[in-house]
Structure 1
Amino acid sequence: MEQKIATPVEKGLIISLILIVIGLVLYFTNQYTNKTLGYLQYLVLMGGIIWGCIVYAQQMKGNVTFGNVFAHGFKITAFVAATLAVYTFVSVKFIFPDIIDKSIEMMRAEMANNKDLTEENIQTALSMTRNYFVPFAVGGILVMFAILGAISALIGAAVAKKNPQDPFGQPQM
């Protein structure tokens, strides 16, 4: 019986669901502003993509090249980035709109500590942030996940066991 090869979409869906669950846990425990815990999502993303690359090479029984494995990993990245961008848009715009206000208040507190900023400068910056929060959040996810995903796909392609076979070569005896 032939082994089914897991697609990048299937692996990306698993990684996306894990990232969404982590994000929800951070939100409901009021830890979403904790930058250290926020990095956990990046580690899960990178680990998931590396795992996906290694599993792909194993499922292909090593008959892959570096480029094949990297492409598979980057397809996973693209799916995860697109899924999380849509999720972020929907959650910030409709499910958790209060996160904008909470983020603005956190920024206000940080800016108030800066003696170089006047109240007018702070108000202007916060107003701009409020107006462009959703596009910056979605864009940030797309850019950051693309960069981290490319790095992870490179690492995954490098560590995956590869033994490509020449389809035109002489069979080994």
Structure 2
Amino acid sequence: MIYLIKQNDNEIFGLVPYLILIIGLIIIGNLFSKENHGNITFGNTFAYCFRANAVVIVLFILWSIIALKFIFPNILEQRFELGKLEFQKEGLSPSDLKAKLKQDKQQFWATFIGSKMLFLAIGGIIGSLIAAAVAKKNPQQQPFTQG
């Protein structure tokens, strides 16, 4: 979406997916509470929301790979072109420039997927903690259980 509205360089728009993730996890936590009639704990809600976040991470990574490889392949070319310009500003020799670009292309997917997983996991932890804190809880003691 950010690409389509030509806001690739705007860092504020880069935070929008994480904000949506956190809001979504809060909604999921509240729905989980309603579904269980408030008979939940902080830990139950956190675990439920974090599992939902794991599904979001997998779907986001799959979408990103499909989008960058097949739907918007020119984004990658633009990114590598910007990298080339940055390397040229550093005053690298042509052979060093070629080696840097080759290394950049080889490491792109590992770096991209790893960083997205890390930042989505951090956003998921924050969202799950908030969701677990704000969800209505009224845990009922179950008969025949100790605790």
- TM-score for the superposition, normalised by structure 1: 0.72
Pair 1:56-2:32 in alignment: yes
Query: Aligned letter for 1:78?
Result: A
* Structure 1 runs, 4 residues or longer, greater than 6 Å off: none
Change (3 A) 1:112 1:50: farther
Residue type matched to 1:137 in 2? F
User: Which residue does the alignment assign to 1:3?
Assistant: none
Do residues 156 (structure 1) and 135 (structure 2) align?
Answer: no
Residue pairs, 1:5-154, within 5 angstroms: 25-113=1-89, 115=90, 118-119=92-93, 121-154=96-129
- Partners of 2:114 and 2:98 lie apart in 1 by 23
TM, length-normalised to structure 2: 0.84
In 2, Cα distance between the equivalents of 1:51 and 1:68? 15
User: What SS does the aligned partner of 2:15 have?
Assistant: helix
Deviation at 1:93, TM superposition (A): 1.7
Gaps of 5+ in 1: 1-24
Name the SS of the counterpart of 1:165 in structure 2: coil
Task: Give yes or no for contact 1:70–1:156 (8 Å, CA) kept in 2.
Answer: yes
Aligned-pair CA distance for 1:165 = 0.3
Higher RCO structure (Cα 8 Å, ≥6 apart):
2
Which residue does 2:143 correspond to in 1?
A: 168
Aligned AA (2:123): L
Identical positions, percent: 32
Q: In structure 2, how many angstroms separate the alpha carbons of the residues matched to 1:111 and 1:37?
A: 26
1:13 corresponds to: none
Tell me which residue corresponds to 1:22: none
Stretches of structure 2 lacking an aligned partner (at least 5 in a row): none
Q: Distance in 2 between matches of 1:99 and 1:152?
A: 29
**In 2, Cα distance between equivalents of 1:102 and 1:69:** 42
> How many equivalent residue pairs?
143
- CA offsets, 1:101-133, max 9 Å, x none? 1112233444555x5x53455543332222222
SS of the aligned residue for 2:65 comes to helix
Structure 1 distance, partners of 2:67, 2:109, is 10
Please give the secondary structure, in 2, of the residue aligned with 1:124: helix
| SS at 1:141 equivalent | helix
| AA aligned opposite 2:106 | N
